[in-house]
Structure 1
Amino acid sequence: MLLKVERILDRFSDIIGWISAALMLVMLVNVFYDAILRYFFRTGSIAMQELEWHIFSVVFLFGISYALKEEGHVRVDVLYDGFSPKLKAIINIVGTFIFLIPLAYLIISGSIWFVHESYTMGEISGDPGGLTHTYLIKSVIPLSFILLIVSALGFVVRNIRMYRGQVFSSQDKIEDNIL
């Protein structure tokens, strides 16, 4: 049962990672286009430059969920690497419930008003020719931390399995790639 839940949550995190990777390619094309316009045609677009920043922020904020799933997040590996798998699992579970989820909740609850305020006042870019509908980019903040909580649940399930000694077999990995 835990393996199925973990697979579903991991698949969700993989989709978020795929979205981040796709947006990184979109950002690359945007930067290339903007650079060509600026250096070869001596023109440019403020909206395109702002779009670069906005896409980068989405890539970063969505990428946090995928980084957690892949265990690419920051921790004190000098100490952590020497611990037993059970102790690592306990540290990961406790750290997720004491630090990660409460912080994510605080950011979600603190940023909802930020998005709402931007939407109700019809906020647009302060630069002439900039982007409109800035509430859309601001809405990525609470959304990304909701996604982080979902990824954190998958991380907790994986660590529960690790604590119980139920690690992935090579067959589990093959079946996971097929599904």
Structure 2
Amino acid sequence: MVALAFTLNNYLIFWQGWPGLTSLVSHLGWFGAEPLRAPLASSAVTLGFLQLASYALTILIVIGLTLRRAGRTMTTDADLLISIAAYIARAAFWAVLLVGLTDMVISFLRVEGVLVSLLGESLSTQLGRAIYRGTYIHYPLIGVSLVIAWFSRSLGFTWLALLIVLAEFQIVLARYIFSYEQAFMGDLVRFWYAALFLFASAYTLIEEGHVRVDILYAGMAERKKAWTNVLGSLFLGVPLCWIILVSGMWDKSNLINAPLLSFEVTQSGYGLYVKYLMAGFLLVYALTMLMAFLGYLLRNAAVLNRDPDARPIGASHGAP
């Protein structure tokens, strides 16, 4: 939940112009922070306190849920975290599917000169601008994906893999039979290929599908395996996810924020306008893997606690 609060505040700071906790702390001179060159306006201070309250409320909710464990086990909490990660992954899958297909159609119509006759000169020109296409085409499709993912329980990674194969096949077919090739065709494959690997990572972790070396782990007793999984998740997996989040979103020039803020696209004017979304893939990866690692940790902690419903994921494999 803290990671979700961090992501929300990142959006408020860099997209909506809220001050953020660091600016608020500097403005108030807390903890010996160096004062800002230009003090915050009173309205900005109010927004800063709202952001501070969001973190405090998140921590209180986590503490409250931890203390009120009547009828709940660690396995139940693990399943909740994993279900949230699965929802984010499902929404991301539908988003890349809808955005990829829609953007491919727009790019095809543009490169063939048909878009102007269909939509007019003005709208055709606007669709050639990344900020317009992202705001009025991509973002609404992402919203639709969130709704579809709420009702759909299939992760769809198998279908995405099939679509990648079909996209590659149509490139080969068009190039060697019809001598036709455009930048958007290769962009679509890269877009879906990146999504497949990054979005499916959390699901693969939970299902014990990652490749690993089990020289020492394979011979351990069940409780030693559980300890290995707990410590590996706590000291390796969770910190890795936070490193991605913080290093990618701490400033507007960082790896995740910069492309999203500028609607970065490839240099090919007739390719897909989705390069900025591929930076967002790292955010989806970090959030889903963080929740998966925490769920993995709790499930193995349930084994150590000898919970009656404990389902050790690592019965035959170790944490990655």
Determine the structure 2 residue equivalent to 1:154.
295
Tell me if structure 2 keeps the 8 A contact 1:47–1:130.
Answer: yes
CA distance in 1, matches of 2:264, 2:79: 40
Tell me if structure 2 keeps the 8 A contact 1:10–1:151.
Answer: yes
CA distance in 2, matches of 1:114, 1:76: 31
- Tell me if 1:6 matches 2:78: yes
- One-letter amino acid matched to 2:217: Y
CA distance in 2, matches of 1:163, 1:127: 55
CA distance in 1, matches of 2:83, 2:255: 30
- One-letter amino acid matched to 2:78: E
Aligned residue among 275, 278, 283 for 1:142: 283
- 1:74 Cα shift? 4.0
Tell me if structure 2 keeps the 8 A contact 1:34–1:48.
Answer: yes
Segment drifting more, 23-32 vs 84-93: 23-32
Cα gap change, 1:118/1:90 in structure 2, threshold over 3 Å: closer, same or farther? same
Tell me if structure 1 keeps the 8 A contact 2:82–2:291.
Answer: no
Query: 2:219 aligns to what SS in structure 1?
Result: coil
Tell me if structure 1 keeps the 8 A contact 2:183–2:270.
Answer: yes
- 1:71 Cα shift? 1.8
- Tell me if 1:91 matches 2:91: no
Cα gap change, 1:119/1:6 in structure 2, threshold over 3 Å: closer, same or farther? closer
- One-letter amino acid matched to 2:272: L
Cα gap change, 1:126/1:64 in structure 2, threshold over 3 Å: closer, same or farther? same
Segment drifting more, 155-164 vs 145-154: 155-164
Gaps of 5+ in 2: 1-71, 91-154, 312-320
Tell me if structure 2 keeps the 8 A contact 1:21–1:59.
Answer: no
Cα gap change, 1:121/1:52 in structure 2, threshold over 3 Å: closer, same or farther? same
Determine the structure 2 residue equivalent to 1:100.
237
Tell me if structure 2 keeps the 8 A contact 1:93–1:159.
Answer: yes
- One-letter amino acid matched to 1:82: G
Larger Rg over CA atoms = 2
CA distance in 2, matches of 1:8, 1:21: 24
Answer 1 or 2: higher relative contact order, Cα 8 Å, separation at least 6: 1
Tell me if structure 1 keeps the 8 A contact 2:81–2:291.
Answer: yes
Gaps of 5+ in 1: 169-179
Query: 1:62 aligns to what SS in structure 2?
Result: helix
Q: Number of residue pairs matched? A: 169
Alignment of 1:156-171 (within 5 A): 156-166=297-307, 167-168=310-311
Aligned residue among 272, 287, 300 for 1:131: 272
Tell me if structure 1 keeps the 8 A contact 2:260–2:280.
Answer: no
- 1:115 Cα shift? 2.9
Aligned residue among 40, 51, 59 for 2:196: 59
Tell me if structure 2 keeps the 8 A contact 1:20–1:58.
Answer: no
Segment drifting more, 115-124 vs 36-45: 115-124
CA distance in 1, matches of 2:245, 2:162: 27
- 1:14 Cα shift? 5.2
Query: 1:77 aligns to what SS in structure 2?
Result: coil
- 1:128 Cα shift? 4.5
Determine the structure 1 residue equivalent to 2:180.
43
Q: TM-score, normalised by structure 2?
A: 0.48
CA distance in 1, matches of 2:299, 2:190: 34
Alignment of 1:60-79 (within 5 A): 60-79=197-216
Deviations 1:91-146 (A, max 9, x none): 11111111111111111222232232123334211235222242111111122111
- One-letter amino acid matched to 1:4: T
Deviations 1:48-98 (A, max 9, x none): 211111211111011210121012234430110101111111111111111
